[in-house]
Each structure stands twice: as C-alpha cells, then as structure tokens.
Structure 1
Amino acid sequence: MFKEFKDFIMTGNVIDLAVAVLLAGAMGLVVSGFVNDIMMPFVGHFSGGLDFAEMKVVLDEAVLAADGTIAKPENAVMYGKWINAIINLIIVGFVLFMIVKAYNKTKTPPAPAAPEAPKGPTQEELLIQIRDLLKK
C-alpha cells in the first residue's frame, strides 16, 4: 500500500497540481497586495476619502461592563467589506482581461488555409466527353 501511495504521489499530475496550488497562493498574495495597497487608495481618493470597509448596519450595540471592557461585542452587518470585495473582483477581472488581451496579441495568427485546387471533371464527365467526341 505504501508503494502504491508513493507511485501516486510521484506521478507528474500530482506534482504539477502541487506546484499550481503553491503558485496560485503566491499569486493571490501579489494580487491582493496590488488591489489593497495600490488600487484601493485611488478608489478611496476618487470617492472622497470614503472607506467602504467601515460601512455597516449595527443590529445590536456593544455592551460594556462596569470596568469599561466589552461584555458583549457589537453585532453588525458589514456590507462595506462586501462592497470592497466587489471592487476587488472588478479590478482583478480588468487586470486579467488586459493580461489575456496582451497575451493574445503576442500569439501569431494561424496561417490562412491554402485555397483548394479546383477539382477536375469527374470520371462520368470524362466518359461523356469521350463519347461525344467519338460520335463526331
């Protein structure tokens, strides 16, 4: 059973998948850094300094104890974080669109198919021509 497991793990597909997962995780960090640290300040600037992450609807206020500590935390719907996630999706989608568009421009277009040679007469047409010539 150990040998079968070793053979399974060492196949190319599993190793390729592991590499893809690790690269996707690293790429996720790069993309989230780009969106959060570069693009979102622009969004905040053009929206008048509004921070969407702080937008919420409070359902239950926080309850403070006599000593000032929080006895019961606030219960709120954080819809601003959802708005941030949608903005992130739009930004990432646009960046990926631009990357794919640039990649497609680098690919060479397929060579146009050579026009088919005109087909000659069929065997029946040739026999008809021969028959007509013999009649003359």
Structure 2
Amino acid sequence: MSFSSELKEFLMRGSVVDMAVGIVIGGAFGKIVTSFVNDVLMPPLALISDQGQFTDLKLVLREAVIQGTEVVTPAVTWNYGAFIQSIVDFLIIGTAIFLVIKGMNSMKRKKEEVPAPPAEPSKEESLLTEIRDLLKNK
C-alpha cells in the first residue's frame, strides 16, 4: 500500500473527521466564550473595581526605569486581572463541555436501556418444542 493511499484511508476514517469537526467547533466556541467574558461579564466587574478594563488589573512589582523619554528597564508587573479572566473563560468552557457530555451520556443510557428483542430459538430448540407439544397431546 502506498503512502498516499494509507494517508487517504487514515484521513477518511470517521473518527478523524469527527475530531476535525470538533476542533473547528471548539475553536469557534472558545471565541464566543472569550467575547462573552470580555464584552459582557467583565465590564460590570471592572466598574465594581474602579478600573477601566478588568484585564488591566495588575500589581507593580518594580517600576519602570525611564531616562528622558526612553524606557531603560520596563516595569515588572503581576497581571492578575488577565489571569482571573482566563480562569473565568476556563470555567465557562469547562461547564459547557460538562453539560454537553452529561447530556450525551444520558441519551446513551436511554438508548442502552431499550431491551433487545429475544433471540430466535435455534432449529434444535424448535424441534424439541414440537416434540414436547406432540408428546403432551398424546
């Protein structure tokens, strides 16, 4: 089997295509969550904290060294606002994924709970049943 045919067979498997679709949708969902956090959730929190942007919250560990108009050494800051915003993003995405998986698992359980129809008796069992019935009737 040539390399190109093996590659084609691998890429056309259902699981690879499903994974690719999941990655694309996950990327789009991540953008939606980031926009929700940045544009809807964080501005009210920034008002509460009296900051312009929540991501601008930081603790200056060392001030910048400036000579004239030139920055000699940039400031060292602890950007906890951006970190908190990333945590909120993660919690929202994690909760959404949990709910989707929980729904899928409950649907899978419902599907599994449907009992399978009884199996057809084998020819031997059918013949033995007929013989039994004939012997009962005599």
Shorter-normalised TM range: 0.5 to 0.7
Distance 1:83 1:97, change over 3 A: same
- Is contact 1:35-1:92 (8 Å) kept? no
Distance 1:100 1:21, change over 3 A: closer
Q: How far, CA to CA, are the matches of 1:98 and 1:15 in structure 2?
A: 23
How far did 1:94 drift? 6.3
Distance 1:10 1:30, change over 3 A: same
Q: How far, CA to CA, are the matches of 1:35 and 1:59 in structure 2?
A: 27
Cross-structure match for 1:27: 29
Tell me whether 1:53 sits opposite 2:70 in the alignment: no
- Is contact 2:60-2:78 (8 Å) kept? yes
Cross-structure match for 1:75: 76
Identity %: 34
Q: How far, CA to CA, are the matches of 2:17 and 2:101 in structure 1?
A: 26
Cross-structure match for 1:114: none
The code of the aligned residue for 2:79 comes to: M
The code of the aligned residue for 2:43 comes to: P
Unaligned runs of 5+ in 2: 105-109, 114-138
Unaligned runs of 5+ in 1: 104-108, 112-136
Cross-structure match for 1:16: 18
Query: RMSD between aligned alpha carbons?
Result: 3.7
- Is contact 2:51-2:57 (8 Å) kept? no
Distance 1:32 1:59, change over 3 A: same
Pick the structure with more helix per residue: 2
Question: Secondary structure in 2 aligned to 1:71?
Answer: strand
How far did 1:82 drift? 1.7
Structure with greater Cα Rg: 1
Cross-structure match for 1:86: 87
Distance 1:46 1:55, change over 3 A: closer
Cross-structure match for 2:64: 62
